[in-house]
Structure 1
Amino acid sequence: MVSMEEFREYLDEACEQIPEEYYGELNGGVLLREEVKIHPKSNGDELKIMGEYVYSRTMGRLIYIYYGSFIAVYGEASKELLKREIKHTLEHELTHHLESLAGEKDLEIADEIQIHRYLERK
């Protein structure tokens, strides 16, 4: 299993691969959280949240990446796969950020459609 320190290094690598301008107005930055985060509409604990874009008047704009969720899902995966999934999640959350700045909600709508399909299967 990858330690949180090693995971943080992978996350830092992923952050460095993305152009700086994508982080504009992301005043809270990208924060690594230790916990497993379960989606509120999950059937039990099967639907984990890997990352989350947050915008609030008090906290500003920031991205959470959930180490515990990644370990629960990818704990036995190769480091290469884990790194790819970290980067994919970071890009997904940055897309939410950029769309929020532009007043768009395309990815938010796509995420809701995925949840709706998940619930239909359950």
Structure 2
Amino acid sequence: MTIDRFTDLLEELVDDLPEAIFQDLNGGIIVEEELKVHPEAADLLVLGVYERTILGGCIRLYYGSFTGKLGGAPELLYKAEMKATLYHEFTHHLEYLGGADDLAVQDIHELEEFRNRSLNE
């Protein structure tokens, strides 16, 4: 999977989304080339993040993390993982707009479960 093809697939996914959910996503959706490792779990790759700054919000997808996780997997698998990640990050965005933080709490619990599984292996 090249970064150009990754970006093309992302554009296809974004085109299918309703325009209204882009409200206040001033920074848009950014593809970063890097492989990003979670700062608290060295064996956990970060596929995407939702970020808020004083300028607004943006979603970052980490191409290197997708290739690190999926390697030479079929394009359909990449697209499914990208869609799931994109929807996850948009959920953070929409919750922020609505004054909720449920998914962030769920992410914290899932990180704790991941750490516990890693310790028991």
- Does the alignment reach a TM-score above 0.5? yes
Which of 73, 76, 82 is the equivalent residue of 2:72?
A: 76
Unaligned runs of 5+ in 1: none
Count of residues paired in the alignment: 118
- Counterpart of 2:49 in structure 1 is 52
Shift of 1:41: 1.1
TM-score, length-normalised on structure 1?
0.93
SS at match of 1:9: helix
Residue-by-residue CA offset, 1:44-99 (whole Å, 9 max, x unaligned): 3x200000000011x42000000000000012211001101111100000000000
State the shift of 1:10 in Å: 0.5
- Structure-2 residue corresponding to 1:39: 38
Q: Distance in 2 between matches of 1:19 and 1:81?
A: 23
Identity %: 38
Residue of structure 2 equivalent to 1:15: 14
- What TM-score results when the alignment is normalised by the length of structure 2? 0.94
Q: How far is 1:9 from its partner?
A: 0.2
Runs of 4+ in 1 over 2 A off after TM superposition: none
**Residues 78-117 of structure 1 mapped to structure 2, 5 A cutoff:** 78-117=74-113
* Higher RCO by CA contacts (8 Å cutoff, separation 6 or greater): 1
Q: Which is strand-richer, 1 or 2?
A: 2
Root-mean-square deviation over aligned CA pairs: 0.9
Matched, 1:25 2:24: yes
